[in-house]
């Protein structure tokens, strides 16, 4: 019983922080086609959003979130971040989250400044 728990813990540590998003098998289907299909589905969703949603903040935020999802998946799978420890992944992901907070703040403040200066 203890060896089975230890093996499961080792597998969880080996797959890392993004391990739940990544295939764990060893076949060509798992290595090539599943990542392709995941990225393809996200890209199709981006096209659907591009041609069906009206312009505005919701559309922009949807694109940003889908792009970040693709970036995290590509980083985890193709750059092998899934094999790193969670602390290294957090060191890489944290600045991205802080940069997103900066962009959101600048966007909000810029809109308020535009309204103040140009009355629009």
Q: How confident is the model at residue 40 (pLDDT cuts 50, 70, 90)?
A: very high
What does the alpha-carbon distance between residue 25 and residue 83 come to, in Å, rounded to a whole number? Answer: 14
The per-residue pLDDT for range 53-111, each reduced to its tens digit, is: 888 888 988 888 898 889 888 887 877 777 777 788 778 778 888 998 999 999 999 99
- The upper half-sphere exposure of residue 59, i.e. CA atoms within 13 Å in the direction of its Cβ, equals 10
Could you tell me the residue ranges of all domains in the chain? 21-83, 85-120
Structure tokens at 19: 């391990």
The per-residue pLDDT for range 83-97, each reduced to its tens digit, is: 777 788 778 778 888
pTM over 0.85, yes/no: no
Q: Read out DSSP for 36-94?
A: HHHHHHHHHHHHHHHHHSPSSHHHHHHHHHHHHHHHHHHHHHHT-GGGS-HHHHHHHHH
């Amino acid at each position: 019983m203890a060896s089975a728990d230890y093996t499961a813990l080792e597998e969880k540590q080996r797959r890392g922080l993004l391990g739940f998003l990544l295939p764990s098998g060893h076949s060509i289907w798992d290595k090539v086609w599943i990542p392709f299909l995941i990225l393809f589905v996200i890209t199709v969703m981006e096209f659907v959003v591009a041609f069906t949603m009206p312009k505005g903040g919701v559309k922009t935020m949807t694109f940003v979130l889908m792009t970040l999802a693709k970036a995290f998946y590509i980083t985890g799978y193709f750059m092998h971040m899934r094999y790193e420890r969670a602390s290294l992944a957090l060191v890489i992901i944290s600045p991205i989250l802080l940069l997103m907070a900066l962009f959101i703040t600048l966007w909000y403040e810029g809109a308020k400044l535009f309204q103040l200066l140009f009355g629009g």
